Structures are given as C-alpha cells and as structure tokens.
Amino acid sequence: MNSIALKMLMGDKLKYFGLVAGIAFATMLILQQSSILVGFARQTGAFIRDTAQADLWIMDPQVRFSQDQVPVRGTTIQLARGVPGVDWALPLYQGFLRGKMPDGTRFTMILVGLDDATLMGAPPVIADGTLADLRRDKAVFIQADKPEKKLMMKRGGNRPLAIGDRFSANDQEAVVAGTYRGRESFFWEPVVYTTYSRALQYAPPERNSLAFILVKVKPGHDLQTVKAALEDRTGLAVRTNEEFIKLTADYILNTTGILVNFGLAVALGVLIGSLVAGQTFYNFTLDNLRHYGALKAMGVSNSQLMGMVLLQAGTVAVLGYGVGVGLGSMMGWIVASQGLAFSMPWYVPAFAFTAIISVCALAAWLSLRQVFKLEPAVVFKA
C-alpha cells in the first residue's frame, strides 16, 4: 500500500511539486524570520564575544547590557585578585565619546580601554599592525570591517579613516595605529580600542571610571565557585560570558521591541507557512477523496488509509523541509555576506522542522477526518 500511496503522491507532477514547493516556502519563511531574530540577538553580544579571553565579568549590578555605563571603584580589582582561583583580574574601560575627524565630520564612538600591560580584552583579529602598536603615543585601533559605513570622512575627502590618520577624541588627539576585525555588532557606533590609561585621559573625568573587571579563572578551579566568591568579596555582579550575552540580548530585544516585532514576524511566518503547507496538502487529499473512497470500497481499512496519508504527509514534509533549508541557507548566506543580521544555529532548523512536521500532521489529521468520514458508497456516484 505504501507504493500506491507514494505513486498517488508523485503521480501528478504539478501537484507534487506544488506540495513540495509550498512546504519549502513555508520552511524558508520560518527559517528566514527566525534566523534574522537570532542574528539580531547574537549581534547584541558581539562585543562580549570579541572580548572572550576572560571567563568572568565583574560589573555594577545595575548594568543592563554590554554598553551600559555604570562604573565601579578601581580598588575592586585588588579585591578580585585576592579571591582564590582567580588567575588574573584586569580593568576594562568602556564609554561613549564624541569624536571629530580631520575633515570636521563628527561622530560618536565606543571607546574601549585595555589593560596597559597585558592588552587583555583585545579583539580577536588584528587586521593591520600589531596589538603592541597600541602602546605607541596616542595610538588607537579602529575597525577594518566596512569603514565606509562607520568612520567615513564625509565632509572632506569622502574616504574612510586609515592608518596614520589623526582624529579628535573628546577634543584630544588620537592616531590610528592599526585596524582590527570584529564581529558584526547590533550597536552602530564604531568601537575604538586604546589602552586603559589613555582611555581615562580621553574620557571625561568621573569619580569612578572602571566599566568592567575581566577575570580569568585558574585551571582546575570551578567557575561557579570562583564566581560566587567574587560576588561575595566585591558585592558586585559577576557574570560569565554567556550570562552577560543573555542579559544584553534580553535587554535589547525587549526594550527595543525587536523581540515582539520579530516574534510576530516569526509567528506570521509559521502561520503563513502553515496555511500554505496545510492547505496544499489538504487540497491534495480532497482531490484524491474519490480514490480513497474506491480503496475503502475495495476493502482498505481506515488504519491502512491513515498509514497512506501519513506516509504522503511525511514524505512531502521531509522533502519540502530539505529544499526549504537549502534555499533558506542560501538566502542566509547572501544576507549575511552583506553584513545583515542572520544566524542559523542548530535549533532554528530544528524549530522549523518541528513546525513543519506539526503543520503537516495537522493537515494530515484534517485530511484523514474527511477520509474516515467518507462513505465507500460514494464511489457509486457518477
């Protein structure tokens, strides 16, 4: 009976391709919307991932996201270093500063100050120059990726900042000594790296300037134990990279409405995809109702018919899903290569697969109701 079911499914090529295409479209829609949402969520944690040499971040408990500025006292570093299991604890400055390019173009930057001695917390890839160049006089590193978008001199030469260019950081001179490559970030301001001491010179004077303390746990020590001890000793919030990423993503997604908007888009994708896939399969079954009636008359039981319909639904679901994932991945590759938010971790296709299988199961169930209700005597109606 399985061969009959599959022949029924694939016999009419146009309907068959329509079914697979409908489900592929639904899969692609779900994948695309979900991946964009995940992409945005991931981009919110770009800075934290770029600074991933540390295991833990010490911060003020009021910090809501990675670019939030709630400094802590500088003496906290000494407290942290005294906690058993701490390999090293280093300062990290981070703050928004106004800048002005040589041609007068004004911009706002996120200035990051790395520990002068170790330069820990630097971005993972240095594109031009070496990290040690940061120790040169007035040296800063700017992002090499898409400079035309973030650090473009629009009023003069209409060119991006380059190595050797000087610009003003909070009315003090900075020299571009190198470039780095970082992850695509949700935040649009350019991130400029310098040393911790120079960052304090550039930044407006404050009572406390230390944004974060980066902590590395000694090998063989339990991360959670050290984390709890740091919290106890400093009285501040201590977060792992993943916890800080989640905190940031939750805050950004919720306060900006991205979660609601893209959640709706994902829901819409599931709904439209469901309607397309479900309706197409339901119509396919209705088109074949007469044949199911004939089979019923000839002695095919309801359980055999159920097996046939489920086999058909499962076949188009798996095929359509496969095609949809392929198309979705291709579209994602194109979108991501343009620097747009698109990320497809394993759970996105798994979610889409669950959604598509559920939709097809629902459509099959609705179809089966019609098949079960069908009186075999219908076959004698002309």
Partner 1 sequence: MKPSSNTPAVACKAVTRVYGEGETAVQALRGIDLDIQSCELMMLVGPSGCGKTTLISIIAGILDKTDGACRVFGDDLAAMSAAERTLWRRENVGFVFQAFNLMPALTAVENVAIPLLINGVPRSQALERAGEMLARVGLDNRRHSLPSQLSGGQQQRVAIGRALVHAPRLVVCDEPTSALDHETGHQVMDVLRAVAAVDDRALVVVTHDARIFNFADRIARMDDGRITDITANAAAREAVPA
Among 58, 89, 300, 356, which residue interacts with partner 1 (rule: CB under 8 A)?
A: 300
3 binds partner 1 per the rule CB under 8 A: yes
Which of these segments, 6-14, 36-44, 106-114, 338-346, binds partner 1 (CB under 8 A)? Answer: 6-14
- 373 contributes a contact to partner 1 by CB under 8 A: no
In sequence order, the 6+-apart residues with CB closer than 8 A to the CB of 134 are: 114, 119, 122, 140, 141, 177, 178, 193, 194, 195
| Backbone phi, psi, residue 146, to 5° | 45, 55
Q: Does 271 participate in binding partner 1 (rule CB under 8 A)?
A: no
Residue list 70-109, contact with partner 1 (CB under 8 A): none
Q: Work out which of 106, 149, 154, 291 binds partner 1, going by CB under 8 A.
A: 291
**Whether the Cβ atoms of residue 107 and residue 99 lie closer than 8 Å to each other:** yes
Torsion region of 103: left, alpha or beta (phi above 0 gives left; psi -120 to 50 gives alpha) = alpha
Q: Residue 75: which residues within 8 A CB-CB, separation 6 or more?
A: none
Does residue 380 belong to the site contacting partner 1 (CB under 8 A)? Answer: yes
- Our finding on whether 379 is near partner 1 (CB under 8 A) is yes
Here the tokens at position 125 are 């890839």
Angle made by CA atoms 24, 339, 110, in degrees to the nearest 5: 140
Q: Does 4 bind partner 1 (CB under 8 A)?
A: yes
- Is residue 319 part of the contact set for partner 1 (CB under 8 A)? no
Whole-number minimum distance, CB 17 to partner 1, in Å? 14
346 binds partner 1 (CB under 8 A): no
Q: Pick between residue 96 and residue 372 the one whose CB is nearest to partner 1.
A: 372
Residues 277 and 289: their CA atoms lie apart, in Å, by: 18
Using the CB atoms, write b or e for 94-129: b if 16+ within 10 Å: bbebebebeeebebebbbbbbbbeebbbbbeebbbb
Least separation in angstroms between CB 18 and partner 1 = 15
Indicate whether 147 belongs to the interface with partner 1 (CB under 8 A): no
Binding site for partner 1 (CB under 8 A): 1, 3-4, 7-8, 10-12, 290-291, 294-301, 304, 375-377, 379-382
